[in-house]
A and B are shown apart, each in its own frame.
Chain A
């Protein structure tokens, strides 16, 4: 029941910006978009999240379209250490008052030297 669609793989040259797209056309008004990345053999690492405004932190920027049906994660200056699988996730409220994070299959980003 994934709510997001991402390209399976992307390449990016080292030092350039990496722009990772995500489609979440069925997102509801109170559902947040989260981005995580997973480096081989490690647990997913939190990057950034947002509801409807663009967000920026020390790792990345998140651009959400006005209709909220898609978003883009931007790594401004990709390094070799950014090679990982990037997951775009919708956080869904549940009937029990909790939240569930629904992962898709992610984008495998390869940063090239």
Chain B
């Protein structure tokens, strides 16, 4: 039973460019959340997708956008990259909205902006 998978594992981009990160949730999960983790900090919530809609958003600018597909996989897009966007981007999946379902995390995508 595959867990949460993310691609790519590492990425280097230049300031001003755009990036797309991908996530496949754990089998049976229908909800995907994205987190940004700066070095030495705890993960910060970006947004959550359920039924192909953004359901909740953290304190991140509109440069951060996402999408969820009918198979529950998800993408995170970041436009106009800044040096401060360098971080580990984590995807987490869970089941349902009203259930007591723990988040399952992938191992993240390490994004470096130069």
Contact = CB atoms under 8 A, between A and B. Distances in A.
Contacts of B98: 97
B24 to A, nearest CB: 13
A46 B80 CA distance: 33
A105 B61 CA distance: 22
A96 B55 contact: yes
Taking residues whose C-beta sits less than 8 angstroms from the other chain, chain B's interface range is: 20 to 34
Contacts of B90: 43-44
Which of A41, A42, A43, A106 counts the most chain B CB atoms within 10 A?
A43
Contact of A43 (B97, B100, B107): B107
A49 interface: yes
A44 B92 CA distance: 9
B55 A49 contact: no
Contacts of A43: 4, 90, 92, 105-108
B21 to A, nearest CB: 13
Interface in B93-114: 97-98, 100, 102-108
B56 interface: yes
Taking residues whose C-beta sits less than 8 angstroms from the other chain, chain A's interface range is: 20 to 34
A104 interface: yes
A46 B102 contact: yes
Interface in A14-60: 32, 34, 36, 41-46, 49
Contacts of A34: 102-103
B45 A101 contact: yes
B102 A102 contact: no
A100 interface: yes
A61 B56 CA distance: 31
15 contacts: A42-B107, A43-B4, A43-B90, A43-B105, A44-B105, A46-B102, A46-B103, A87-B42, A97-B97, A98-B48, A98-B97, A100-B45, A101-B92, A103-B42, A104-B42
The 8 closest A-B pairs by CB, nearest first: A43-B105, A103-B42, A46-B102, A98-B55, A43-B107, A44-B105, A103-B43, A94-B56
